[in-house]
């Protein structure tokens, strides 16, 4: 016995119903991902060049700093501790394709309109660390251990990894962060005159950047260079 034919109106209703269910399910999943797992950010400056270049888009895991700990060398996204963004130079509008991707990410919940309130830097000092620069060879040291930093970008002919000398002890629950483009980064060194002394509260960290997701030819996992920081003992009694 042949099944009764559905009317065009009934078919359209079922199609729209299923499409609505799929869209709502996608929005719920993306909301949960944004709230608990990952977010997307774009890079507006050259401060992390060459690791991250202008208009790169990155995926950030929100499982750091909790439940996973922050490690030295991690590239992290954090909320401006206060006044840092005023020192950033060369911030441009996104190109049309990046703008469209950002608009879509905001729509599905993987990104948000407050991206411009965040910064991206590499963690150098953890709570309790003594971070100093520079020694006779132009190197930075942590707790007396000199670093070889393959990710750091310096002007041609320059071997000193920071344009200014400094010696700081990182307070509890804070971080010392630096851009890989050492002579063009408004990082902890450039904000020592701010109320926070250039340190970033761990509570301000949104998460750890784990991958460059766009453009396609830039796709890569982001390393925290564990060999660079091997052998450095922690001075934070809470860790």
Q: What is the CATH number of the domain that holds 74?
A: 2.10.109.10
Any domain includes 11: no
Distance CA 10, CA 67 (A): 49
The DSSP bridge pattern shows strands 200-201 and 174-178 to be antiparallel
Most confident of 2-11, 23-32, 97-106: 2-11
Any domain includes 238: no
Any domain includes 30: no
Any domain includes 152: yes
Q: So what's the pLDDT on residue 92?
A: 47
The answer on pLDDT for 88 being more than 50 is yes
Any domain includes 104: no
Closest CA to 64 of 53, 56, 49, 75: 75
Q: So what's the pLDDT on residue 83?
A: 87
Any domain includes 15: no
> Helix 8-36 and helix 96-108: axis angle, to 10°?
100
The answer on pLDDT for 35 being more than 70 is no
Distance CA 73, CA 227 (A): 10
Distance CA 206, CA 200 (A): 12
Distance CA 122, CA 144 (A): 19
Q: How many domains does the chain have?
A: 1
What average pLDDT does the segment 125-137 reach? 96
What average pLDDT does the segment 84-101 reach? 58
In the chain, the percentage of residues whose pLDDT exceeds 70 is: 75
Any domain includes 75: yes
Distance CA 138, CA 133 (A): 7
Any domain includes 102: no
Residue 204's CB: how many other CB atoms inside 10 A? 20
Q: So what's the pLDDT on residue 96?
A: 62
The answer on pLDDT for 231 being more than 60 is yes
DSSP state of 153: B
Domain limits at 70? 43-88+113-221
Q: So what's the pLDDT on residue 91?
A: 43
The pTM is what?
0.77
Which sequence positions are flagged as catalytic? 47, 121
Q: How do residues 160-184 score in pLDDT, each as one tens digit?
A: 999 999 999 999 999 999 999 999 9
Q: So what's the pLDDT on residue 94?
A: 52
Q: So what's the pLDDT on residue 51?
A: 97
When pLDDT is cut at 50, 70 and 90, the band that residue 187 belongs to is very high
Most confident of 189-193, 212-216, 234-238: 189-193
């Amino acid at each position: 016995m042949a099944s009764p034919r559905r009317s065009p109106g009934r078919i359209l209703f079922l199609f729209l119903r299923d499409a609505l269910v799929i869209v709502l399910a996608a929005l719920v999943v993306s909301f949960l991902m944004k709230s608990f797992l990952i977010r997307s950010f774009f890079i507006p400056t050259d401060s992390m060049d060459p690791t991250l270049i202008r208009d790169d888009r990155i995926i950030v895991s929100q499982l750091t700093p909790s439940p996973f700990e922050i490690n030295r060398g991690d590239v992290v996204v954090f909320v401006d501790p206060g006044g840092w963004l005023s020192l950033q130079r060369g911030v441009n509008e996104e190109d049309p394709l990046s703008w469209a991707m950002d608009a879509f990410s905001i729509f599905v919940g993987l990104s948000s309109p407050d991206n411009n309130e965040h910064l991206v830097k590499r963690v150098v000092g953890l709570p309790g660390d003594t971070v100093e620069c520079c020694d006779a060879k132009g190197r930075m040291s942590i707790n007396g251990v000199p670093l070889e930093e393959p990710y750091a970008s310096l002007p041609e002919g320059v071997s000193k990894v920071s344009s200014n000398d400094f010696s700081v002890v990182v307070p509890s629950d804070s971080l010392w962060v630096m851009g890989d483009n050492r002579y063009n980064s408004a990082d902890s060194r450039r904000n020592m005159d701010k109320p926070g002394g250039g340190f970033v509260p761990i509570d301000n960290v949104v998460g750890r950047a784990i991958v460059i997701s766009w453009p396609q030819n830039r796709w890569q996992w982001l390393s925290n260079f564990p060999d660079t920081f091997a052998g450095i003992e922690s001075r934070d009694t809470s860790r």
